[in-house]
Amino acid sequence: MENILSAAQQLMSPAALAAIVLGTVYGTIVGALPGLGSVIAITIVLPFTYSMDAIPSIALVLAIYCSSVYGGSLSAILINTPGTPQSAATLLDGYPMTRKGRAAEAIGWATISSVIGGLFSVAVLIIAAPQLARVALRFGPIETFALICMALTCIAGVSRGSILKGLLAGILGLFLATVGADPMTGAIRFDFGVFNLSAGVSLIPVLVGLFALAEVFCRAAERAGTPIPKTESSGFVVPPFREWWLRKRTLIKSAAIGTFVGILPGTGASTASFIAYSEAKRSGRFRDKFGTGEPEGLIASETSNNAVTGGALVPTLALGIPGDPVTAVVMSTLIIQGIQPGVRLFADNADLMNAAFLALILCNLMLLVVAAAGSRLLTRVLSMPEPVLFTMVVVLSLVGSYGVNGNMFDVLVTFIAGIAGVAFRYIGVPVAPIVIGLVLGPIFEESLRQSLILTDGSFGAFFTLSHPIALGLFALAALLMAFAIATEIRGMQRKPAPDAPEI
Amino acid sequence: MKIHRMLCATRREFAAATLAFGALAMPLHAQDAYPSDTVTLLIPWAAGGATDVAARAIQPTLAEQLGTDVIIKNVSGAAGTIGTAEAARARPDGYTVLVTSAGPVAVQPHLRKLPYDLDSFKPVGRVSLTPMLTMVPQDSPYNTIEELIAAAKENPGQITAGSSGAGTLPHLAILALNKAAGIELKHIPFQGSNAAIKELLGGTVALFSDQSQSAPKYELNGLLAWSGERLEEYPDVPTMKDLGYDIEMGNWIGVFVPLDTPEEIATALNEALNNTLNDPEVLQNFADLLLAPSPTSIEEFDAFARANYEFSREMLQDAGLVQ
């Protein structure tokens, strides 16, 4: 109790509070801009933190981290463009809600889900970081490969319409992920003599092209199409408690999935949100309405991707091993402030850590305030004339895809992905599986090949009792796949009545 | 009225976008005495990586020393070669300055066909040189490098060694140790040092060679130092030279400009860089980041980079990886 009070006292300085408020606002904006993600948001302020005191700079970086993950959902909901790859699953139900004129409500669901996911993961971080970090260490290449196999079964979950087309799209995504340097030997693959292709196909340009540009192209093509119903600029609608209660299982499950995936280094928030989304689609109360603007889909994606924030800090703080570029930047800020993450962190820096935990809680709560204050302005974007809105989306998309690597080639990739996205819509191929393939492809290949080096090329050695965690995950993956196929077959048998509820 | 307010919102959004992109913008150059305009440090790695963090630690002081604005531009991809290629193509006017680790300039040119080589650059100076150490976990069965080498001779291809990727220094260290001691370690590349250290702590790999400061940080034991002299912190750990092999390796970050840049500009940059590396605040930041500042003259750095380039070619050639 005394510790908490002293931590609170340290945080109650004007500088620290200002850092939380400004960090949250700034992080939300940068997160919402397509292409600019958490890493860029934090690195831009990094030089400032060198001259700041420890607590304000830690609070600033944590606030930016949490809010930038959340910010990506706003553009996903409003303009069908995930601001960050973490929010790719958010648009599957977020944008359909906007098209029905329920944007303010969608922002309400997304915001509160994000806050709940964030707070849940912070609680886990505070209570069990050192213990969970040891679990993360037991996740070697074989375990990671098993987890990614399980995650790949999500493709079936997000393939609306035809599961076959969905699987093909997923394979296309996996194939795109193999372009560029071989992760094991460094040899360049599929570059066709184009030097820029040796860097591979970047995720964000493809994401922005497939969703944002394709949407603009399609809307421009169907001039007489249905306009988006006007959203009242009421900003932020808090969904009633009863509605939440109906979806509580998805909420809890997604928070747990997000935190768990976050703890494993190298997997990331995009993986978590797709796993949570497809799990909700499998078991959620409103699973039949997924993809048509069902809040449960939003809950799954947003709860889990924000739950990753606290989870990802577990190995970062307790082991000193950041799992992704974002937490690596967070860690370098801590180091500059004289805090050495690692096994002794919680013993050596208890005071600072308590303040940091408290700051994390405040940052998550701050999201509510920022959303409430800012969403009125944001939803007004939708009342713009379509030509203005589309122009803005195109400009933001292109600037964003340039910003990822600072490379004009990525802008070209965005255009190509945009045109491909239009083609996919006309032939009824879902594009979400492509994104899943591209997100999971690199880590799928890497962990598989690392595992094969370990076992001297034997696949059989993956399925032995010396890797119990992997065995469990493989079994789960097989079950999920069997379930997806069974659902598909049942669906085919019932073709005559397409609206009949499943099971 | 409504339209007006709408436009305000748009403008605000654009202002935010512009703000966020300030750090990435390209400068326009004037023709006055150098430096009369913004200097761009081009980092061929993503924001937040080790090289980027080091560059950001010297950025404010370097700007003071040069008396101009210094901004950082990250052009990442393909093991740093995309950004390095861009730096090689840049106008040789000293306003685009490459800050990079060894990989893109001294190793990658041997591994793949690139539109540049080490010869495309004029060296400016070294930022840091961090000694390398071969490390094992505390519960490792090997207490000395001799024990490890003996075990590797008994079980060829069975002892696993991690690296932070193909063609990285930790990978070169494995190749050098294999060659020198006549052993065969099983190499498993991971994406970056953090991933490799995680697998070292988790027991997937038995050893990993990286910057020596990682050892106290992750409570690892040092077996072999790759520096010229024994490390102060590890007086009992032998160097490669102690074992009778004339090999020295270290993690370095250096500064380059395009080859045709005038000599006086390189000299001005070298001077500003070396003054920056003597600044107390920069030294403190480097100490926190576990980087050892290592200023050099242009000639010293030139010879150093070339020796590094030749060494990595030799190692990779023996391993059959040179394309």
Examine the domain organization and report whether B166 and B189 are in the same domain.
yes
From A168, A173, A165, A90, select the one nearest A440 (Cα to Cα).
A173
Residue B21 and residue A140: Cβ atoms within 8 Å?
Answer: no
CA dihedral A169, A174, A180, A181 (to 10 degrees): 180
Where in the sequence is the domain holding B82, given as residue range(s)?
37-130+251-318
Q: How far is CA B106 from the centre of its chain?
A: 10
List of residues 6+ apart from B234 with CB closer than 8 A = B133, B212, B215, B222, B225
Nearest to A396 among B17, B56, B111 (CB): B17
Residue A183 and residue B188: Cβ atoms within 8 Å?
Answer: no
Residue B202 and residue A180: Cβ atoms within 8 Å?
Answer: no
Size of chain B, expressed as the number of residues it contains = 323
Residue B48 and residue A332: Cβ atoms within 8 Å?
Answer: yes
Nearest to B202 among A47, A137, A182 (CB): A137
- Interface check for B11 against chain A (CB to CB < 8 A): the answer is no
- The C-alpha atoms of residue A264 and residue A151 are separated, in whole angstroms, by 14
Query: What is the pLDDT, as a whole number, of residue A264?
Result: 85
Closest residue in B to A134 (Cα) is B202
What totals of helices (H) and strands (E) does chain A contain, helices first?
22, 2
Q: Is B65 a domain residue?
A: yes
List of residues 6+ apart from B71 with CB closer than 8 A = B22, B23, B25, B27, B38, B39, B40, B41, B59
Query: What is the pLDDT, as a whole number, of residue A300?
Result: 94
Query: What is the pLDDT, as a whole number, of residue B21?
Result: 47
Residue reference for tokens 């820029």: A196
- Interface check for B79 against chain A (CB to CB < 8 A): the answer is yes
Examine the domain organization and report whether B108 and B149 are in the same domain.
no
Looking at beta carbons, which residues of chain B come within 8 Å of A264? none
Q: Is B241 a domain residue?
A: no
Judge whether residue B320 has pLDDT over 90: no
Looking at beta carbons, which residues of chain A come within 8 Å of B78? 180-181, 188, 198-200
Query: What is the pLDDT, as a whole number, of residue A495?
Result: 54
Query: What is the pLDDT, as a whole number, of residue B322?
Result: 77
Residue A139 and residue B202: Cβ atoms within 8 Å?
Answer: yes
Q: How many domains does chain B have?
A: 2
- The C-alpha atoms of residue A206 and residue A416 are separated, in whole angstroms, by 8
Examine the domain organization and report whether B126 and B49 are in the same domain.
yes
- Interface check for A188 against chain B (CB to CB < 8 A): the answer is yes
In tens, the pLDDT along B115-145 reads 999 999 999 999 999 889 999 999 999 999 9
Examine the domain organization and report whether B137 and B122 are in the same domain.
no
Mean pLDDT of the region B217-224: 91
Residue B47 and residue A39: Cβ atoms within 8 Å?
Answer: yes
Query: What is the pLDDT, as a whole number, of residue B280?
Result: 92
Helices (H), A138-213: 141-152, 154-158, 163-176, 203-208
Percent of all residues in chain B with a pLDDT value above 70, rounded to a whole number:
90
Examine the domain organization and report whether B121 and B139 are in the same domain.
no
**Which two structure tokens, joined as six digits, stand for A41?**
């948001």
Q: Is the dihedral of CA A406, A412, A416, A418 positive or negative?
A: positive
Q: Is B12 a domain residue?
A: no
Judge whether residue B160 has pLDDT over 60: yes
Examine the domain organization and report whether B161 and B78 are in the same domain.
no
Closest residue in B to A337 (Cα) is B288
CATH value at residue B136: 3.40.190.10
Cβ atoms of residues B317 and B167 within 8 Å: no
Residue B77 and residue A30: Cβ atoms within 8 Å?
Answer: no
Cβ atoms of residues B212 and B231 within 8 Å: yes
CA dihedral A411, A415, A416, A420 (to 10 degrees): 140
Cβ atoms of residues A361 and A306 within 8 Å: no
From A418, A426, A375, A416, select the one nearest A393 (Cα to Cα).
A418
Residue B191 and residue A329: Cβ atoms within 8 Å?
Answer: no
Examine the domain organization and report whether B49 and B189 are in the same domain.
no
- Interface check for B59 against chain A (CB to CB < 8 A): the answer is yes
Q: Is B20 a domain residue?
A: no
In tens, the pLDDT along B268-285 reads 999 999 999 999 999 998
**Which two structure tokens, joined as six digits, stand for B6?**
């709408």
Residue A140 and residue B85: Cβ atoms within 8 Å?
Answer: no
- Interface check for B13 against chain A (CB to CB < 8 A): the answer is yes
Q: Is B246 a domain residue?
A: no
**Which two structure tokens, joined as six digits, stand for A38?**
């958490």
- The C-alpha atoms of residue B75 and residue B56 are separated, in whole angstroms, by 15
- Chain A window 398-437: which residues touch B at a Cβ cutoff of 8 Å? 399, 403, 405-407
Nearest to B74 among A186, A383, A406 (CB): A406
Query: What is the pLDDT, as a whole number, of residue A237?
Result: 79
Query: Rounded to a whole number, what is the distance in Å from the CA of A22 to chain B's nearest CA?
Result: 13
Which of B191, B225, B259 is at the close of a domain?
B225
Interface predicted TM-score (ipTM) over 0.90: no
- The C-alpha atoms of residue A386 and residue A219 are separated, in whole angstroms, by 9
Q: Is B71 a domain residue?
A: yes
DSSP calls for A26-44: HHHHHHHSTT--HHHHHHH
Looking at beta carbons, which residues of chain B come within 8 Å of A137? 198, 201-202
Examine the domain organization and report whether B135 and B215 are in the same domain.
yes
Q: Strand B70-74 and strand B96-101: pairing?
A: unpaired
For testing contact with chain B, the best of A327, A454, A462, A467 (most B CBs within 10 A): A454
Mean pLDDT score of chain B: 86
Cβ atoms of residues A70 and A111 within 8 Å: yes
Residue A33 and residue B167: Cβ atoms within 8 Å?
Answer: no
Examine the domain organization and report whether B265 and B221 are in the same domain.
no
Examine the domain organization and report whether B126 and B264 are in the same domain.
yes
Query: Rounded to a whole number, what is the distance in Å from the CA of A61 to chain B's nearest CA?
Result: 13
- Chain B window 244-303: which residues touch A at a Cβ cutoff of 8 Å? 285, 288-290
Residue B194 and residue A265: Cβ atoms within 8 Å?
Answer: yes
Low-confidence ranges of chain A (pLDDT < 70): 1-2, 160-161, 223-235, 494-503
- Chain B window 120-149: which residues touch A at a Cβ cutoff of 8 Å? none
Residue A405 and residue B167: Cβ atoms within 8 Å?
Answer: no
Cβ atoms of residues A90 and A96 within 8 Å: no
Examine the domain organization and report whether B162 and B308 are in the same domain.
no
Q: Is B242 a domain residue?
A: no
- The C-alpha atoms of residue A38 and residue A27 are separated, in whole angstroms, by 7
Residue B56 and residue A199: Cβ atoms within 8 Å?
Answer: no
In degrees and rounded to multiples of 5, residue B155 shows phi and psi of -120, 75
**Which two structure tokens, joined as six digits, stand for A250?**
């998805």
DSSP calls for A450-472: HHHHHTTT-SGGGGSTT-HHHHH
**Which two structure tokens, joined as six digits, stand for B251?**
């993690």
- Chain A window 277-316: which residues touch B at a Cβ cutoff of 8 Å? 315
Q: Is B195 a domain residue?
A: yes
CATH value at residue B290: 3.40.190.150
Examine the domain organization and report whether B207 and B275 are in the same domain.
no
Nearest to A266 among B59, B166, B195 (CB): B195
The pTM of this model reads 0.85
- Chain A window 128-147: which residues touch B at a Cβ cutoff of 8 Å? 136-141
Q: Is the dihedral of CA B25, B108, A440, A143 positive or negative?
A: negative
Nearest to A186 among B79, B199, B285 (CB): B79
